[in-house]
Structure 1
Amino acid sequence: MARPRTIDRDNVLDCAEQLVQRRGAAALTLDAVAKEAGITKGGLQYCFGSKDDLVTALIDRWIAGFDAQVARNAGASPTIAGRVAAYVAACGQYDAAGHARMVGMLVTLLQSPRYLQRMRAWYAGWFHDCTPDSDAGRRARTAIFAAEGAFFLRSLGFIEMDEAEWQNVFADFQKLAS
């Protein structure tokens, strides 16, 4: 009896992201992802269950990657200002591929309130400690809004900025968090 072929979940998620980048969110079907990944639709369903589960895995992977970058930037036992500065730094460190992935994810998120709710919960966690009743909390909240705004403007192609200018802008955002 032949050994069953294992499916590389990360490769399937990479393929799903690439598919959305090339052909848009409407192209994200189980058939298309299976073909892109070189596996059967049944194998894809065995691995992820449903399209909703696949999209949830994409969102969870993006969140985990971003949170890991923040943790690397923040170091051990950071203050809220340190965490927000690390968050701002992570937004500024995303490369063109990261921006393209995020745009694909945004388009996908807009298709379902379930996915939108997942992102709302994640952002709520970040803003929980940025209380408006203190100057530090307001600065932290403003720094996150500024970093996210710049990230989305650049990701969506609404602004163009060379890397040096981009880093200078994010240095200003980090000063807000301090």
Structure 2
Amino acid sequence: MGRYQAVDRDSVLDAAELIVRTRGIAALTIDAVAKAAGISKGGVQSSFGTKDQLIAAMYARWGTEFEAAIARQAGEEPSPMARLRAYIEVTYRTDKAEGDRAAGMMAALLNAPEHLRQFQQWYASQLDGIDMSTPEGRRARLAFLANEGLFMLRSFGFMKMSEREWREIYADIRGLLDDAEGRKT
């Protein structure tokens, strides 16, 4: 009788993310993930249950990694503005593979209302603590929205831009944050 082989959840999640990135969310099936990960369909199901639970695990891992990068950039007990600045810096440093990964996750979440709600709550929390009734708060919000728009336009391939353009636009976004924080540029 064969010995039970433990399933490496991260390897399975890597395989699932690769499918979403390269073939789209419609190609994400338990069977496709099992084949890509080199395990049985039952191995995927025993680790994640359903396709929706697999997507939830993909989102959770991505979110945890992104939040950890923000925390490293922001330092201990950052102000809301420092956290926003860290968020924008982490987004700026996102490479093509990470951008593709994020775009794939966003596409997956849009197709699942229960996951979309989590995403909406996460986005709503990104500006917590910033007073939108002030000009500074509004500039910070504008910097956040410009950051997200630029990232999505590039990640989804809606707008081609050179690395130089990417850097220049992020310099402008940082300038909005500098204005919001009363810094000299």
TM-score norm. by structure 1 comes to 0.93
After TM superposition, give the deviation of residue 49 of structure 1 in Å.
1.4
After TM superposition, give the deviation of residue 161 of structure 1 in Å.
2.1
Asked if structure 1 preserves the Cα contact closer than 8 Å seen for 2:20 and 2:28, the reply is yes
Partner Cα separation in structure 2 for residue 116 and residue 82 of structure 1: 27
Partner Cα separation in structure 2 for residue 171 and residue 72 of structure 1: 21
The one-letter code of the counterpart of 2:141 is R
SS of residue in 2 equivalent to 1:67: helix
After TM superposition, give the deviation of residue 2 of structure 1 in Å.
5.4
Report the counterpart of residue 134 of structure 1 in structure 2.
134
The one-letter code of the counterpart of 2:101 is R
Asked if structure 2 preserves the Cα contact closer than 8 Å seen for 1:81 and 1:136, the reply is no
Report the counterpart of residue 70 of structure 1 in structure 2.
70
143-152 vs 59-68, which deviates more?
Answer: 59-68
Tell me how large the CA RMSD over aligned residues is.
1.5
Asked if structure 1 preserves the Cα contact closer than 8 Å seen for 2:73 and 2:86, the reply is yes
After TM superposition, give the deviation of residue 140 of structure 1 in Å.
1.7
Report the counterpart of residue 162 of structure 2 in structure 1.
162
Asked if structure 1 preserves the Cα contact closer than 8 Å seen for 2:84 and 2:127, the reply is no
Segments of 4+ moved more than 6 angstroms: none
Stretches of structure 2 lacking an aligned partner (at least 5 in a row): none
SS of residue in 2 equivalent to 1:33: helix
Partner Cα separation in structure 2 for residue 46 and residue 35 of structure 1: 15
TM-score norm. by structure 2 comes to 0.89
After TM superposition, give the deviation of residue 134 of structure 1 in Å.
2.0
SS of residue in 1 equivalent to 2:125: helix
The one-letter code of the counterpart of 1:174 is R
Alignment of 1:17 with 2:47, yes or no, is no
Report the counterpart of residue 7 of structure 1 in structure 2.
7
- Higher RCO structure, 1 or 2 (CA under 8 Å, sep 6+): 1
CA deviation profile, 1:43-95 (whole Å, cap 9, x unmatched): 11111111111000111111111111111111122211111111111111111
Report the counterpart of residue 148 of structure 1 in structure 2.
148
CA deviation profile, 1:11-50 (whole Å, cap 9, x unmatched): 1111001111222111111111111101111111111111
Partner Cα separation in structure 2 for residue 30 and residue 145 of structure 1: 35
SS of residue in 1 equivalent to 2:126: helix
Report the counterpart of residue 117 of structure 1 in structure 2.
117
After TM superposition, give the deviation of residue 167 of structure 1 in Å.
2.2
Report the counterpart of residue 26 of structure 2 in structure 1.
26
After TM superposition, give the deviation of residue 3 of structure 1 in Å.
4.5
After TM superposition, give the deviation of residue 144 of structure 1 in Å.
0.8
SS of residue in 1 equivalent to 2:167: helix
Alignment of 1:42 with 2:78, yes or no, is no
Change (3 A) 1:77 1:171: farther
Asked if structure 2 preserves the Cα contact closer than 8 Å seen for 1:129 and 1:137, the reply is no
Asked if structure 2 preserves the Cα contact closer than 8 Å seen for 1:59 and 1:105, the reply is yes
